[in-house]
Chains A and B, each alone.
Chain A
Amino acid sequence: MGMTITEKILASHCGKSKVTPGEIINAKVDLAMANELSAQLAIKEFDDWGMSKIFDSNKVALIPDHFTPNKDITSANIAKKVREFAWKHNIKFYIEQGRAGIEHAVMAERGMILPGEVLIGGDSHSTTCGAMGCFAAGVGSSDIAYAWAVGEIWLKVPSSMKIILKGKLKNWVSGKDIILHIIKEISVDGATYMAMEFTGSGVSQLNMADRFTMSNMSTEAGAKNGIFSVDDETLQYVRNTERYKLEKPEFKIYESDFDAKYEIEKEYDMSVIEPQVACPFSPGNVKPLSDVEKLPIDAVIIGTCTNGWIEDMRRAAAIFKGRKVHPKVRVIVIPGSTLIQKQAIQEGLAEIFIESGCVFSTSTCGPCIGGHMGVLAEKERCVSTTNRNFVGRMGHPSSEVYLANPAVAAASAILGRIASPEEL
């Protein structure tokens, strides 16, 4: 019996030739990442446990992004605590506000994590980098502190769900719509404890942004990791990262065996999927856009770790170009990282956003978690390209969030209501 890509990566990280689903292993960690919030508790635990030394400061990333640029004194104190910890322990991948961005985009674009490696992150959307052919899973702060101390993580080897993608994407459809459609089909706990493996002839049509978005939201179906195999698109992306260019690190490419065992296999014809919208208050409450009531909206958020990639910026800008945001709507565009922000400026996208009437923000998780930089008021309605629309997620508990792709969000911003790009 063969192994899946996830099983192969995990086996190679615990010194075994084979692992089987359900088995508990201690896997070596190639990168342990935390943002300032998960780091805060991890630092407390690390200190409480009496630990003084990080197992390998080259394998730790600390990326402040949730309440940065700091929104108040409390959040400034948290960022300070994390910064001082990073300096004290000589952490290789501590990147300061203004040079970094949102953790998942930053880890990917800088090549902090590479194909075949094991990443654990103190953030549930740490599944994002699985798009690069690595094992990437979200964990809690204790796990991060544990990894800092011993360089390992305890894991139950997940069984795998094979998602076979076929067919060509329709106009205005992107990875966001495919993953929303899948979450609706299998439900928000359909992949709990499992590895979601995206494969099939349709994958070649998905650019890295699409893949990152899908791996990002695999956690919304309960998955442990969401992984793609490495192809030319992946290799081109990896070879363009800063670290690859500087260090030329070696990495290993794993592929699932033809006789690997899957607990569930699902096949999707992407050519019949139209833009999808997750209605309040669950990422699983998904409807095709044409079935969603064209309700008036107050705010639009485009970007963040789900849809803040350069391709997403281009998709949104294509809609905003030559058009004005509806007078009753506020739009905030948030690129995933400083590098993406810079590229958006170089490509003239930033000017399009600003001309149209959008805020073009520095990278932050702010509004997605109802933290800052665009919190929703009572009963406000927002179309957002983020990944969660739970009660109170982006502000007041009575506010409503509709999750959509960047083109749909931009079209809604122009028309002042939930809208399709086709209507423009």
Chain B
Amino acid sequence: MLLKGKVWKYGENINTDVILPGRWCHLYLEEDLAKHCLEDLDPDFVKKASPGDIIVAGKNFGCGSSREIAPLAIKAAKVSCVIAPSFARIFYRNAINLGFPIFESDECYQKAETGDILEVDIATGVIANLTKNQKYSSTPFPEFMRMIIQKGGLKGYVLERMKNKT
């Protein structure tokens, strides 16, 4: 499966408070969360982004709070994936558990710019920059995490486990 979209590029250590501020932490439904995605980082993000667009950011993306509504807000805003050199650990596991694609690639962060069109192959993790005619690699997921992502997140995994138990 290919994910194709325009790049919105941000810096390092983007924390969950600017992705989904505390004042919106009472929300949990996707349609409500989508309206506030990246609100304290880039207040116009929701207006200017189109479905399928891709967030490219610096290291330690998603640091801070454990709020799962941060990756959920990004997913709900129809962003197709996030690419960063590294992710904070709770954001990382929340994204996997939600079945939301994230890719670790320092090369992409170094070379891609806002407005570039990327095409990401979920299976291989290869990121093609169609604007610059470049290809970047990303770190492959461990087998267990790839399995959860393939099942669409923790939901698919847990349903299978419960079925096997009975």
Q: Which residues of A contact B (CB under 8 A)?
A: 24, 37-38, 40-41, 44-45, 48-51, 66-67, 74-75, 78, 121-124, 126, 138-143, 145-146, 149-150, 154, 156, 188-189, 192-193, 222, 224, 282, 369-371, 388, 390-393, 397
Smallest beta-carbon distance B162→chain A, Å: 7
Q: How far is the CA of A204 from the CA of B141 in the complex (A)?
A: 41
**Bound-complex Cα distance A390 to B18 (A):** 8
Measured between beta carbons, the chain A residues less than 8 angstroms from B15 are 388, 390
Which residue from B17, B21, B89, B98 sits with its C-beta under 8 Å from A142? Answer: B98
A51-B158, A67-B26, A371-B25 are known contacts; what are 20 more A-B pairs with Cβ within 8 Å? A24-B142, A38-B68, A40-B26, A44-B28, A66-B25, A74-B26, A139-B93, A140-B93, A141-B94, A142-B155, A145-B158, A146-B97, A188-B60, A189-B86, A192-B60, A193-B89, A388-B15, A392-B18, A392-B21, A392-B40
The reply to whether A393 and B89 contact each other, CB–CB distance below 8 Å, is: no
Closest residue on chain B to residue A126 by CB atoms: B66
Q: Is B128 an interface residue (CB 8 A)?
A: no
Q: Decide if B25 touches A49 in the complex (CB within 8 Å).
A: no
Cβ < 8 Å to A, chain B residues 28-80: 28, 40-41, 59-60, 63-69, 72
Q: Size range of the interface on B?
A: 35 or more
A139 near B66 with CB under 8 A, answer yes
The CA-CA distance from A124 to B41 in the complex, in Å, is 21
Q: List 17 A-B contacts (CB under 8 A).
A: A24-B142, A41-B28, A49-B159, A126-B66, A139-B66, A139-B93, A142-B97, A143-B93, A145-B158, A150-B162, A156-B142, A188-B13, A189-B60, A189-B63, A189-B88, A371-B23, A392-B22
Q: Given contacts A138-B90, A189-B60, is CB(A37)–CB(B161) below 8 Å?
A: no
| A124 with B66: CB separation less than 8 A | yes
Residues of A near B161 (CB, < 8 A) are 150
Distance to closest chain A CB from B127 (angstroms)? 22
Q: A142-B98, A150-B162, A390-B17 are in contact. Are A370 and B68 (CB under 8 A)?
A: no
Q: Are B25 and A222 in contact (CB under 8 A)?
A: no
A344 CA to B20 CA in the complex, in Å?
Answer: 35
CB distance from B19 to the nearest CB of A (A): 10
Q: Which of B23, B63, B153 has the most CB of A within 10 A?
A: B63
- Across the interface, B69 reaches (CB within 8 A) one of A41, A369, A370, namely A41
CA distance A263 to B64 in the complex (A): 23
- Pick from B17, B59, B72, B142: contact of A189, CB below 8 A: B59
Judge whether B88 and A123 touch: CB under 8 Å: no
**B68–A24 touching, CB < 8 Å:** no
Give, as a whole number of angstroms, the nearest-CB distance from B146 to chain A: 11
Give the CA-CA distance A145 to B155 in the complex, in Å: 10
Task: Return the chain B residue nearest A375 by Cβ.
Answer: B23
User: Contacts of B86 on A, CB cut-off 8 Å?
Assistant: 189, 192
Check: B154 CB closer than 8 A to any chain A CB: yes
Contact of B144 among A48, A67, A154, A370 (CB under 8 A): A154
Give B163 Cβ to nearest chain A Cβ, in Å.
11
Q: Which of B15, B28, B89, B162 has the most CB of A within 10 A?
A: B89
B88 touches A192 (CB 8 A): yes
CA distance A321 to B164 in the complex (A): 63
Cβ of B158: which chain A residues have Cβ within 8 Å of it?
Answer: 49, 51, 145-146, 149-150
Nearest A residue to B22 by beta-carbon distance?
A369
- The answer to whether A40 touches B28, judged by C-beta atoms less than 8 angstroms apart, is yes
| Interface pair B25/A37, CB less than 8 Å apart | yes
Q: How far is the CB of B66 from chain A (nearest CB, A)?
A: 4
Q: In the assembled complex, which residues on chain A have CB atoms less than 8 Å from the CB atom of B90?
A: 124, 138-140
Which B106-127 residues sit within 8 Å CB-CB of chain A?
none
Whether the Cβ atoms of A143 and B97 lie closer than 8 Å is yes
- Chain A residues lying within 8 Å of B23, measured Cβ to Cβ, are 370-371
Q: Tell me whether A41 and B17 are in contact (CB under 8 A).
A: no
Q: Are B66 and A397 closer than 8 Å at their CB atoms?
A: no
B68 touches A41 (CB 8 A): yes
Q: Which residues of chain B are within 8 angstroms of A146 by Cβ–Cβ distance?
A: 97, 154, 158
Chain A residues whose C-beta falls within 8 Å of the C-beta of B93 in the assembled complex: 139-140, 143
Chain A residues near B97 (CB-CB < 8 A): 140, 142-143, 146
A141 to B148 Cα, complex, angstroms: 16
